Amino acid sequence: MEPVEGGITNLLYRLSAPGRPTALVRRYGHNTELVIDREAENRLFARLSALGVSPPLHGLLENGRVEGWLEGHRAMTPAEMAAPEHQPHIARALRRWHELPVEGPPSLWDTLTRWLNTAVALEFERPEDRARHAALNLPGHLASLADLQAEVEAAAAALQTPGGQLGRKVVLAHNDLLSGNILIGPDPTALRFIDYEYAAPSYAAADLANHLNEYAGFEADYDRDFPDADARRRLVVAYLGEPHDEDAVRELGGFVERLLIPNHLFWGAWSVIQARCSPIDFPFLEYAERRFGGVGWHRRMLG
């Protein structure tokens, strides 16, 4: 059994034995039940496995899961994910993902409220961590959440083109489509998405917004890595497919941009909780600072 690098929510291991299929053992991270409903995740994984969308489900453990190993596949690099030749394939794969059956109303705002409340209440032991926690202005972000929700919902109600209406459609959002969760195999057009801990009903545009923010990776340098207008348009056009018109592209793209800020709050609050509770060696507080900094960055970008 060998460790698999890259996970910052769970501990992952590759399990192999002569004459036996290789498997992935997923051990849930400490205290991740604060941000993940593991029973719901396992139900979803079983459903996706039955549909042939996810790797096979081999069994559940007391604190984890055993999954099939996708031979011949590897995670994309951030540079590959952003490359123009791969962007259309990712967008089309996400459009197909959004056609999966979904149950329940959008969970984004309830999740944000719960996570921000949890993040506000956390207490850190080291003085420098307490100072960084206080500087994040979590109560301010929580207080402004209702206004942000009202703005997004008003924008959703005003969408008129087929593209805009597609963006506000409630779908099974992956919600964590970074390069490490996109597997590429021998056929570069046949991509596989993995890791569904954060999958939940949401606007389709929210999933596209999350994916765009992930171009900046864990360094979260938006000046350097956030996709420019041409790259954002290319993703939206590929997601819409043919036929489409410019009004639909513009309206869907504009709605996606409105959901960039809620996505920063989502991962910023998550990272604060992880900073206090996770034993995984990752600079969670630093990442939280960068994601909450992304709120201001995108407000300036959007005018």
Which residue has better confidence, 6 or 198?
198
Q: Is it the case that residue 65 has pLDDT exceeding 80?
A: yes
Per-residue pLDDT, averaged over 75-104, amounts to 95
- Going by C-alpha positions, the residue among 130, 267, 156, 133 that lies closest to residue 210 is 267
Asked whether residue 162 falls in the same domain as residue 39, the answer is no
CA dihedral 34, 39, 41, 43 (to 10 degrees): -170
Residue 199: the pLDDT is 97
Last residue of a domain, one of 39, 68, 97: 68
pLDDT of residue 19: 85
Read off the CATH number of the domain in which 16 is found.
3.30.200.20
Same domain, 59 and 78: no
How many domains does the structure of the chain reveal?
A: 2
Q: What is the mean pLDDT of residues 64-86?
A: 93
Residues 28 and 88 both lie in one domain: no
- What CATH number should be reported for the domain holding residue 114? 3.90.1200.10
Write the DSSP assignment of 168-233 as a string of letters.
HSEEEE-----GGGEEE-SSTTS-EE---TT-EEEEHHHHHHHHHHGGGTTTT-HHHHS--HHHHH
| 101, 55: one domain | no
Closest CA to 200 of 64, 43, 15, 27: 43
183 and 63 in one domain? no
* pLDDT tens figures, 5-64: 877 788 899 999 888 889 999 998 887 888 989 999 999 999 999 999 999 999 999 899
Is 0.85 topped by the overall pTM?
A: yes
Structural domain of 279: 74-302
64 and 212, same domain (yes or no): no
Q: Are residues 108 and 44 in the same domain?
A: no
Average confidence (pLDDT) over 186-198? 93
pLDDT at 10: 83
Residues 62 and 84 in one domain: no
Of 68, 96, 113, the residue at which a domain comes to its end is 68
Residue tagged 């489409």 (tokens): 244
Per-residue confidence (pLDDT) for residue 256, from 0 to 100: 98
171-176 average pLDDT score: 98
